[in-house]
Structure formats: structure tokens, C-alpha cells
Amino acid sequence: MPDILPFLKSLISVSGLSGDETPVANLIAEKWRSLVDEVSVSRVGSLHGLKKGSAKPPCPSVMIAAHMDGIGMRVSKIVDGFLHITNVGGIDPRVLPGAEVTVHATGSNKELPSIVVMPPARFLPESAAEGVIAIQHLLVDTGLRPREVEKQVRVGDLVSFANMPFELAGNVLSGHTVDNRASVAALTVCLEELQNKMHTWDVWAVATVQEEVSYLGAYSSAFALRPQIAIVVDGGFASGPGANGWQAFPMGKGVGLCIGPNMHPFLHKRLRELADRLEIPWYLDVTPADSGTDAFAIQITAEGIPTALVELPIRYMHTPVESVALKNVERAGHLLAEFVVSLEADFVDMIVWE
């Protein structure tokens, strides 16, 4: 099994917020260059890696997509050297007070180590001082003097989480943006495994942009590449403190294979049969309507694309301490690789509705 830990650690040590994925895209491109035949960038910034299959042209292709963007914040106003912020993606303001962040200052092209801070309740309107402090009342402090802040920071500048990766017990890696860099790592494991395996189909490894805000990367790459089928890899909810409902699954149970309207039942069936055969532990995750992933977008691209969803259980989703079990990253990567290998030249014709 390849050791994916150093790569995943590097992926969660950089920013790459929705709409500004370049820092992480560069890291991924560097890694994929030796694993695929061609690396290219889509018109909106998604990363495409093509690993060619052995079938005669026109070779069918499977797109495996994992979004690389992360949630964060953006400067909305500067007052007395303090920055007001707004959200990029689904930020939970409860995790922000005391969070270490980086302000990407476009005025000076510098990365400013900073903190998100919570003003005393008496500095806020009475209604805002109750309960969780809303994001519009939180501030970012760069530690610089006001004049210096005015020179370096502009409204619109991005603010990303800056805490370093934490290795927890049980081979669990914790940090910011594990959603969805863990899936990018799983996709990379898949590409590494495919180095020594024959596969008939072309594989498009895709790291998509802007999943957290609009699925822009999923829509556009699926359209540009027109794969015959697609598999999306994304984070699911791991059970743990605060998450014990039907949506959450123990980290030890393996990877999630999803059913629901966004997913093609035939692809799902193929994946679960394969997982059983390979003795890869998996659980059934159900998404009754919108899966909230790139699968939602890819399925309705062009004339429609049969799509499946593989999930990695992640604890504390959308916090700076998102945690994933490395074992599951490897399991997902292994399953994806074996799925690619299993694709027969005429697999498309086998996809049927019952």
C-alpha cells in the first residue's frame, strides 16, 4: 500500500479556497505529472490528468472527480486596522473565534499570519451578543499597525485556515480542508495503483474547483471531457461527538457507497460487488435528494452521465479539525483502481435500468 500520508499532509498545509485553487492545484499537478500521460487545466481552473487506457480509439473514459477547493473567508471591510470578513462556502462561525488564519494580502502579495477574534459582547448590538457571534461581527487581527494594514490588505482578499496538520491516534489525520483533500489523496492512490495494472478505459482524474460554492468545476469538466461514466469522491460524515444520527458512520466501517437520485444504481451495484469481492469494508450511505457533491452536477451535464459517489467518512466536517482515517483513504483509492481495471470495453452497453 503506498504511503499517502506525506502527500495528504502537504495538501492540507496549503490554502486553495473556492475560486483560488492555484496553491493546491500546483501541488496536485506536480504529483500527478509522473502518474498520468497528460496534465492540463480546464478553462475555469480544474486539473485534468489523463491516464490512457488500452482500448482502441475511440476509447471510452471514466472521470473520477474530487474537488480540491476549500472553505474559508474573505475580507469585506477594514476598520482601524481590523478586518471584517464574510464566508467563502459553508463556514460555521462557531469555530472561528481564536482560529489561526492566513490573510492573502493582494496589496503587498504577502501571506499575513493572523487570528480570527471575537469582540467583547458589550461591543456588539444586544441581539448579536446572545448565542453564537455571527461572522459579520467577528474580526481578523493581523498584528500589524493600522497604517500597514491599509497598505497591504484590500477588500476581497482571501482569508484561509492556517493550522498545521495533526496526527491523531488510530492513523487519523486532522486539519483544515481534509474535506476534500482526503479524496484528492484517494484519487492519487488510485493513480499510483494503476501504474502497474492494465486498464481498458481512459481515466480522467479531475480535481475540480468551486464545489463548495457552485459545482462550477464539476459541471465544466464533465462537459469538456464527456466521460461515459463518472465517479465522484467526497467526504461523508463520520460519527463522533455531535454526530450520531443516521447520516453519520463510524470511521472503522470503511468507505461509503452512496445511493440516491444523483447516483446511477448500476454503477453503485458494480462498486459494492467489487468491494465485497476485494473485502474492502464499506457502508451504505443514502442521500434522499441532493447529495451535496459534484455528483449532483455531473449527472446532469451534457446528455446526462451515469455517476456514482464514493465517500470518505470525515469527523467535524467544515471545521479546522476535520479528521480522516488514512486507512479509508487507501481503501477508497484501492477500490477506485480496481473499478477502473474491471471496466470491460463494452461496459457502457451493460449499464441498464431495471
343 burial (CB, 10 Å; 0-12 / 13-18 / 19+) is buried
Report the SS3 class of residue 52. Answer: coil
φ, ψ of residue 72 in degrees (nearest 5): -175, -145
Q: Please count the other Cβ atoms lying within 10 Å of the Cβ belonging to residue 129.
A: 14
Instruction: List, as one string, the DSSP characters of 130-150.
Output: SSSPPGGG-EEE-SS-HHHHH
Q: Is 141 in the site for another protein (CB under 8 A)?
A: yes
Place of cell 477594514: 78
Closest approach, Cβ 174 to another protein, in A, equals 5
CA–CA dist 104, 116 (Å, integer): 14
Q: Give the C-alpha separation, 325 to 320, whole Å.
A: 16
Candidates 13, 15, 42, 142; binder of another protein (CB under 8 A) is: 142
Contact status: 283 vs another protein (CB under 8 A): no
Site string for another protein, 241-270 (x = CB under 8 A): xxx-x-xx--xx------------------
Nearest approach, Cβ of residue 291 and another protein (Å) = 12
Among the listed ranges 3-11, 34-42, 98-106, 279-287, the one in contact with another protein (CB under 8 A) is 98-106
Q: Which three cell numbers stand for residue 84?
A: 471584517
Which range of residues in 35-43, 129-137, 207-215, 283-291 is near another protein by CB under 8 A? 129-137
> Which range touches another protein (CB under 8 A), out of 34-42, 144-152, 294-302, 339-347?
144-152
Contact with another protein (CB under 8 A): which of 41, 44, 55, 117?
A: 117
Q: How far apart are CA 340 and CA 51, in angstroms?
A: 11
Our CB check for another protein shows the closer of 238 and 305 to be: 238
351: Cβ contacts below 8 Å, ≥ 6 apart = 229, 264, 266, 267, 306
Instruction: Please report how close the Cβ of residue 223 comes to another protein at its closest, in angstroms.
Output: 27
Report the residue number, 114 or 180, with the smaller CB distance to another protein.
Answer: 114
Q: How is residue 99 written as a grid cell?
A: 482560529
d(CA 328, CA 315): 13
Strands 110-117 and 47-51, sheet pairing: unpaired
CB 24 within 8 A of CB 11: yes
Query: Nearer Cβ to another protein, position 145 or 197?
Result: 145
Report the nearest approach of another protein to the CB of residue 281 (Å).
Answer: 14
Residue 240 touches another protein, criterion: CB under 8 A: yes
| 139 touches another protein (CB under 8 A) | yes
Structural contact between residues 223 and 67, judged by C-beta atoms closer than 8 angstroms = no
> How many residues touch another protein (CB under 8 A)?
67
- Residue identified by cell 473565534 is 97
- Interactions with another protein, residue window 35-94 (CB under 8 A): 79-80, 82, 90-92, 94
Task: For residues 207 and 223, give the distance between their C-alpha atoms in angstroms, rounded to a whole number.
Answer: 14
Confirm if 5 and 326 have CB atoms less than 8 A apart: yes
Of these, 25, 50, 112, 263, which contacts another protein (CB under 8 A)? 112
Is 288 a binding residue for another protein by CB under 8 A? The answer is no
Contact residues: another protein, CB under 8 A:
79-80, 82, 90-92, 94-100, 112-115, 117-120, 122-125, 128, 131-134, 137, 139, 141-145, 148, 163, 166-172, 174, 237, 240-243, 245, 247-248, 251-252, 292, 315-321, 323, 325
